Structure 1
């Protein structure tokens, strides 16, 4: 009898607890992208976009420096609001109130730039020239850094593991060299806080930074997508790991002779599959108010350079559309000189990729290119001089975003005319005039006649913006090229020290005209 009464009491207590739980609605956790955090930098002079997730149909308020904004979450719990633009300064405190409150401290207001691309953007300060000296002096409490971990996926991500940190000798070592040196130049010049967001992934292909539906709707990438779809159906990563384990066992049994077998990487989760990086490392930060983006990529797409003519501007425009900030500035690094120098004029996929990059400036506004055919290393695809690369990018930003009167644009080919056996080439963006580096004779020009066979040319600067090109074997010139090689030997620049943009005047099919995969 006592046992039955006890059971009834326990059951009644359990029902009471259940009724209380039902009567008190569960509170949803207030969630934001980790791009919002302590020590972050928010963009000055622009409305500050704040977004996140909470309970559906819930009022959300955000306050900072006396400014308040509110919104109501939608049926999924997503909310978006914009705070009034703020001048550079801080530190401030950002409070966001919904079902619960989040408070972020030490918030600065300044300039925010995304640093993206492949390994040459990811190449760290600790691996760059004078790494020891650079890290020793990296003491900039108002220069803030955050990195997005490498996640490749077909599913859009809203979260990542990362946090903002002040720039110190300890935090800067593993940060993007180009990103840091670019941000440092802005910070020192503008004297305002600067925030840098690094989401570069070594070896990444441009199509991995574009959503799947955009590639599908464009219509030019069917074969590329079909190849990946086939791989997704047939690739067995577990089987590849099993094969690697067998190779490892044999390697060990043979006394570890030769190179250690390389572990297989799951290509489906990697940095080449279309849309993987857009979803994994870009989506979590899309919408964070920025000034612009810097980009260093192209090596992985050089074999499909003609395709890059459309793919690269498509990627940039897709980012801009998703961000909803209009045509924010987008500046990139043209491919450096790499591989062996050619003994005679020849075709080059790297030259074709550089050409595709240059073409993008005519396709999209607020874009620019840092020419670095003098800063590469023949035997290393990762040249260590990231300081000068960053300075050339910074010139674009300082001139176009911040109003400084500094040279920024490399000379570009404008037109070619023929006078007898001479090709007369005129250039735009020559600054104080065309000049040469090291020796007075212009080097790097080739010339062709009707047979389309290029030979080394003799070149002469005959005016501020004009070069005369000839060759004894060419009676009637048809085309001129400059720095058209993987590793061009070329020395023409502006008097301001900005290297001439590689070019060709012909449109003859090259190595990659039919490459689509």
Structure 2
């Protein structure tokens, strides 16, 4: 192959499809000579979205210890795109990174969803699988779309073009930061009582006998102290058996809202700066003493309901011995944060965060990759857009069209994860922004060559970052096997709503991908609700008949709408197929 460099030093070579395999080496010769080693020929998937796509295997290591210990797949490669955002226009190169093989020392850095996706495909097809993981937590879909995707949206185009003006943007940012500084000047300084006295509250000798009682885990708003954020100190006296003392230990403190610092016997153990990571700390050898030990957790809560998230792991572990940390603690307030906007008025401008603005991440983390041939797209995103489900349905279709246009490889497979169950379950039928959002995701299946993995059974009510990424990745891989590899011999989707009809007093619901419908677990089929024209929903009895679901319509009731699994956390939903794949939530008008 030969290429001529442009004036900017760039060049490109287009190669025909080659047989999968390797490793190979590539020799580049010009005025100098460069040799690139360990090159594989295989399928590359562009994987993108927000935190549930980015979430690394390191966060999942307690959930999959055997995978972390035993997996060794050098033919699976991962390129994790470093976070970089810009509103000034499209970049020519991705942020600097490197391809990493899925060997034991590297697996912890792979995104969990994309790793299990690639692992499943490799085990099935025995060809190299490459992952470009371009994901940023907490980002909206608009940030991942190009300017062209917003053609027809005058307001968004005006905003995009305005922010491309570097002079305007720099002046705006300076003004906004000045306003924030002016606000902070008008506020009283933070005085943490835990640090202000002659004896710090983290000192084991501090007398905490007058502190409030607290039952771990939980939230202080539920235990007698409402409407307060700030700095809090939590204290627990531990009795350590002699055989556990002086050894290295692991401390698990579930998940804490928002940030925390941990002290044992007055010594700093570690800290976590935001709410989402699981709290896992190592207590060095020699710090645990036989008998009495004082554990202090300093928590900083910025907004909302602060505390210790229930149904998580709160233990101290030495080898195979564990001490349960749930139960009676004590706590005190070190600093009460003033109410928001107290001490100033007005609607001052806030600084622009490029990764949250339209095109902000497409410019830097997507556009440069469009020059490379890929097998398809993997998408796990939406939590940041649940406030406007209707708009998301339009945006997702626009993003799919946009990316396919940019890659110029036709209707590449676009496979995405429907949002999982999350938040508290409700026993009665309810309105739900997350259910509306899942409906918008469901309707995106009308776009050709798309697939959706249903995950309403893989979430956690108390964690927006559920740990079960293996089933999610493998369900996405089932769709890839069908769409990208032409496998027609597998069941790749759970039941998807198709149509309904009324015959006398029975409503029959038909599904696509309806191979042998089953009820998961014991008991009757659950999760179906009917409403009249007033859209007030009521649970109804449903049963499986063949490959359909049949509902007996209550007497003197005229149904107008049908819903299934319509909730933030649809824990009653139990419609599956014989392959163990769940049915998608849906809402439909009764025909």
Give me the TM-score of the superposition, normalised by structure 1: 0.77
**Paired position in structure 2 for 1:329:** 413
Listed as ranges, the gaps of 5+ residues in structure 2 are 196-230, 233-298, 304-349
- Provide Cα deviations, 1:120-172, integer angstroms capped at 9, x if missing partner: 11111111252433221231122111110011111322241211121122211
Q: Is the Cα contact below 8 Å between 1:251 and 1:260 reproduced in 2?
A: no
Q: Is the Cα contact below 8 Å between 2:542 and 2:550 reproduced in 1?
A: yes
* 1:348-497 matches, cutoff 5 A: 348-362=432-446, 364-404=447-487, 405-431=489-515, 433-464=516-547, 466-472=548-554, 475-488=557-570, 489-497=572-580
**Paired position in structure 1 for 2:16:** 84
* 1:168-183 matches, cutoff 5 A: 168-183=103-118
C-alpha distance in 1 between matches for 2:127 and 2:187:
53
User: Are 1:198 and 2:280 matched, yes or no?
Assistant: no
- Provide Cα deviations, 1:447-492, integer angstroms capped at 9, x if missing partner: 012332111111011222x111235366222221101111112000
Greater share of strand = 2
| Displacement after TM superposition at 1:102 (Å) | 3.8
Q: Is the Cα contact below 8 Å between 1:126 and 1:132 reproduced in 2?
A: no
Deviates more, 1:407-416 or 1:369-378: 407-416
| Displacement after TM superposition at 1:115 (Å) | 1.6
User: Are 1:111 and 2:43 matched, yes or no?
Assistant: yes
User: Are 1:316 and 2:400 matched, yes or no?
Assistant: yes
Deviates more, 1:174-183 or 1:86-95: 86-95
C-alpha distance in 2 between matches for 1:440 and 1:227:
57
Q: Is the Cα contact below 8 Å between 1:152 and 1:276 reproduced in 2?
A: yes
Structure 2 counterpart SS, 1:162: coil
C-alpha distance in 2 between matches for 1:193 and 1:244:
55
Q: Is the Cα contact below 8 Å between 1:199 and 1:282 reproduced in 2?
A: yes
**Paired position in structure 2 for 1:251:** 190
**Paired position in structure 2 for 1:187:** 122
User: Are 1:134 and 2:217 matched, yes or no?
Assistant: no
Larger relative contact order (Cα-Cα within 8 Å, sequence gap ≥ 6): 2
CA-atom RMSD in angstroms: 2.9
Deviates more, 1:390-399 or 1:230-239: 230-239
**Paired position in structure 1 for 2:86:** 153
| Displacement after TM superposition at 1:418 (Å) | 1.8
| Displacement after TM superposition at 1:243 (Å) | 6.6
Structure 2 counterpart SS, 1:250: coil
Listed as ranges, the gaps of 5+ residues in structure 1 are 1-67, 508-517
User: Are 1:144 and 2:228 matched, yes or no?
Assistant: no
Q: Is the Cα contact below 8 Å between 1:456 and 1:471 reproduced in 2?
A: no
Give me the TM-score of the superposition, normalised by structure 2: 0.68
Greater share of helix = 1
Compared with structure 1, are the counterparts of its residues 107 and 468 closer, same or farther at alpha carbon in structure 2 (3 Å cutoff)? same
C-alpha distance in 2 between matches for 1:198 and 1:374:
25
C-alpha distance in 1 between matches for 2:53 and 2:556:
42
C-alpha distance in 2 between matches for 1:136 and 1:247:
54
C-alpha distance in 1 between matches for 2:140 and 2:74:
34
**Paired position in structure 2 for 1:502:** 585
- Provide Cα deviations, 1:213-234, integer angstroms capped at 9, x if missing partner: 431x132764994899699675
Compared with structure 1, are the counterparts of its residues 261 and 438 closer, same or farther at alpha carbon in structure 2 (3 Å cutoff)? closer
Q: Is the Cα contact below 8 Å between 2:43 and 2:374 reproduced in 1?
A: yes
- Provide Cα deviations, 1:227-272, integer angstroms capped at 9, x if missing partner: 9969967554533774797699933555464454879xx8634432
Deviates more, 1:294-303 or 1:125-134: 125-134
Compared with structure 1, are the counterparts of its residues 221 and 482 closer, same or farther at alpha carbon in structure 2 (3 Å cutoff)? farther
| Displacement after TM superposition at 1:95 (Å) | 3.1
- Provide Cα deviations, 1:43-78, integer angstroms capped at 9, x if missing partner: xxxxxxxxxxxxxxxxxxxxxxxxx3x344556555
C-alpha distance in 1 between matches for 2:116 and 2:433:
29
| Displacement after TM superposition at 1:419 (Å) | 2.5
Structure 2 counterpart SS, 1:468: strand
Deviates more, 1:159-168 or 1:100-109: 100-109
| Displacement after TM superposition at 1:327 (Å) | 1.3
**Paired position in structure 2 for 1:286:** 370
**Paired position in structure 2 for 1:211:** 146
- Provide Cα deviations, 1:12-54, integer angstroms capped at 9, x if missing partner: xxxxxxxxxxxxxxxxxxxxxxxxxxxxxxxxxxxxxxxxxxx
C-alpha distance in 1 between matches for 2:396 and 2:424:
27
C-alpha distance in 2 between matches for 1:211 and 1:501:
30
Structure 1 counterpart SS, 2:135: coil
C-alpha distance in 1 between matches for 2:558 and 2:358:
46
Structure 1 counterpart SS, 2:401: helix
C-alpha distance in 1 between matches for 2:22 and 2:179:
53
Compared with structure 1, are the counterparts of its residues 113 and 139 closer, same or farther at alpha carbon in structure 2 (3 Å cutoff)? same
